[in-house]
Homo-oligomer: A and B are copies of this chain.
């Protein structure tokens, strides 16, 4: 891998760290360049525009989420085990990757839910895809047969709610019992789904 690709990766990685704290739209080139001992223009040369950098950062978060959460799930047997591993990994992701404080998706969702553009599209597309993955996994929960489609969406909705509440309790309130509450909530959701058919 050439020098250019190396520093580009370093830039995106550092920008991801920063974006979690100041937001994706709050990214600013100058301080980011200082972090990496780069000049602002030297950094900028790697991306034709700020939006390109933001898109790269968001895509990096998507890749990490896929590697850390989705793929391990697909390597686990279908059914409840897969679903539980997926959610467990998701909780870990919210608590923060090593050194990374928080979840970029939640931050960007608040910034770009009503701001049209490429960032909005990439964010919504990836999140929608994850939501559909969750629903697909929910179908395998009952032993008696596949869960109906509308109930799969309901499960995906409720699991997402547990994760979002977990994040609020963890990041905003610093509540020590957050994970316990979340696990309890998820267990009941999965139990109900498993016994629904």
Asked whether, in the complex, the Cβ of A184 is within 8 Å of the Cβ of B110, the reply is: no
CB–CB A173/B128 < 8 A: yes
A-B contact pairs, 21 of them (CB 8 A): A21-B115, A23-B23, A23-B111, A25-B26, A101-B114, A107-B110, A109-B168, A109-B171, A109-B172, A113-B171, A114-B171, A127-B173, A128-B173, A153-B181, A154-B181, A154-B184, A157-B178, A158-B162, A158-B181, A160-B168, A161-B163
Cβ of A192 < 8 Å from any Cβ of B?
yes
Copies of this chain, how many? 2
Which residues of A from 67 to 116 have beta carbons under 8 Å from B? 101-102, 106-107, 109-111, 113-115
Tell which of B25, B113, B114, B185 touches A161, judged by Cβ atoms closer than 8 Å: B185
- Whether A131 sits at the interface, judged by CB under 8 Å, is yes
**A31 to B135 CA separation, bound complex (whole angstroms):** 43
Q: How far is the CA of A173 from the CA of B105 in the complex (A)?
A: 13
CB atoms of A113 and B158 under 8 A apart: no
* Residue ranges of A at the interface with B (Cβ–Cβ < 8 Å): 21, 23, 25-26, 101-102, 106-107, 109-111, 113-115, 123-124, 127-128, 131, 153-154, 157-158, 160-166, 168-169, 171-173, 177-178, 181-182, 184-185, 188, 192
What 6 pairs across the A-B complex have the smallest Cβ distances? A161-B161, A161-B165, A164-B164, A157-B181, A113-B171, A113-B172
Closest to A123 in B: B172
